[in-house]
Amino acid sequence: MARIGELKPCKPTSPGRRHRVVIDKAGLWRGRPEPSLTTRIAGQHQAGRNNTGQITTRRRSAPHHRRLYRMIDFHRRRADPAVVERLEYDPNRSAFIALIQYAADGQRSYILAPQGLSLGDTVECGEEAPFTPGNAMPLRLIPEGTRVHNVELHLGRGGALCRAAGTSARLQSKDESYALLNLQSGEVRQVPVGCTATIGVVSNEQHKNRVLGKAGAAAWVGRRPSVRGVAMNPVDHPHGGGEGKTSGGRKGSMSPWGWYTKGLRTRNKKQHSSKLIVRRRNHEKLHLSTINKGSW
């Protein structure tokens, strides 16, 4: 169990495996998922296309392996205790998941597995739950300085923040109405104190340090090749054209549609949730409105 989530280099039996580093899944459930908690993904994979078939997200393709979607309980509304039956790998997300069974009626459910959760542990939800990883409760009951994940943004809608592998938010302070959360991106925002959060850090912290090792492994997960703009023609990209290796002839790095790509902030300042953001991530960067005024 101690090896779950650690990095494991592959033996260099081929050029594609020489630098490949994967996540060690020893100790995870090796069987099929719970049938009652899985469903077939509706329709075919969109592969970055909208409802009319046009590509709206570049460099995406359908994964090379079929998947069953695991229905995760992001709400955690049941207050009675449940026992962790097993930890599983979920191909639809970067974090590991845990299958729990409630002692009252035997109902099973999937939750995000935090770091430190193991087989046989008991998880609870509600105001009487202890402050241990995997337990969920409203933010008003959580002590300041605690690391939380699966945080609700709106009361009763289920967790939306900090659900990826290795992510968490630190509860900085709270008052009668809002709790102040410090996110890993550097953003500090307010969340209503009645919203539910889960104690602990999401599992599989080393997911960001894995090395795919070859282009075929990227294709397995639905990534298509990326072409540099300076290698294109002028009709295809602002950086295209020129003799030999040129920088593109444009001031600053741009996307194919002329947007600056070196940290330009494009968020709408009139967005309704902006009033809850105390400090933006990378708050020193320029905004699109300043560029339109000619200060770029």
Q: Which band of pLDDT confidence, cut at 50, 70 and 90, is reported for residue 199?
A: very high
Please give the Cα distance from 9 to 292 (Å, whole number): 49
Please check the confidence at residue 294 and state whether its pLDDT lies above 80.
no
Cβ atoms within 10 Å of 55's Cβ, excluding its own: 12
Query: Does residue 102 fall inside a structural domain?
Result: yes
pLDDT over 90 for what percent of the chain? Answer: 69
Number of domains in the chain: 1
Please write the tens of the pLDDT for every residue from 209-267.
999 999 999 999 889 999 999 899 999 999 988 888 887 667 778 899 988 888 888 88
Q: Which band of pLDDT confidence, cut at 50, 70 and 90, is reported for residue 41?
A: confident
More confident residue, 77 or 62: 77
Please give the Cα distance from 114 to 94 (Å, whole number): 12
Query: Does residue 116 fall inside a structural domain?
Result: yes
Query: Does residue 20 fall inside a structural domain?
Result: yes
Query: Does residue 170 fall inside a structural domain?
Result: yes
Q: Which band of pLDDT confidence, cut at 50, 70 and 90, is reported for residue 120?
A: very high
Mean pLDDT of the chain: 90
The 3-class SS string of the chain reads CCCCCCEEECCCCCHHHHCCEEECCCCCCCCCCCHHHEEECCCCCCCCECCCCCECCCCECCCCCCCEEECECCCCCCCCCEEEEEEECCCCCCCCEEEEEECCCCCEEEEECECCCCCCCEECECCCCCCCCCCEEEHHHCCCCCEEECEECCCCCCEEECCCCCCCEEEEEECCCEEEEEECCCCEEEEECCCEEEECCECCHHHHHCECCCHHHHHHCCECCCCCHHHCCCCCCCCCCCCCCCCCCCCCCECCCCCECCCCECCCCCCHHHHHEEECCCCCCCEHHHHHCCCC
Query: Does residue 252 fall inside a structural domain?
Result: no
Q: Domain span at residue 124?
A: 7-42+64-207
Please check the confidence at residue 293 and state whether its pLDDT lies above 60.
no
Please give the Cα distance from 2 to 26 (Å, whole number): 9
- What confidence score (pLDDT) does residue 1 get? 42
Query: Does residue 275 fall inside a structural domain?
Result: no
233, 243 Cβ separation under 8 angstroms: no
Highest mean pLDDT among 3-12, 52-61, 85-94, 246-255: 85-94
Query: Does residue 133 fall inside a structural domain?
Result: yes
Please check the confidence at residue 296 and state whether its pLDDT lies above 70.
no
- What confidence score (pLDDT) does residue 248 get? 64
- What confidence score (pLDDT) does residue 285 get? 62
CATH of the domain at 100: 2.30.30.30
Q: Which band of pLDDT confidence, cut at 50, 70 and 90, is reported for residue 2?
A: very low
Q: What is the Cα Rg of the chain in Å?
A: 23
- What confidence score (pLDDT) does residue 295 get? 45
Q: What one-letter code names the amino acid at 19?
A: H
- What confidence score (pLDDT) does residue 65 get? 82
Cβ atoms within 10 Å of 224's Cβ, excluding its own: 14
170, 142 Cβ separation under 8 angstroms: no
Distances (CA, A) of 248 to 46, 122, 181, 294: 33, 59, 42, 21
Query: Does residue 69 fall inside a structural domain?
Result: yes
- What confidence score (pLDDT) does residue 200 get? 96
Cβ atoms within 10 Å of 296's Cβ, excluding its own: 12
- What confidence score (pLDDT) does residue 174 get? 93
Please check the confidence at residue 44 and state whether its pLDDT lies above 70.
no
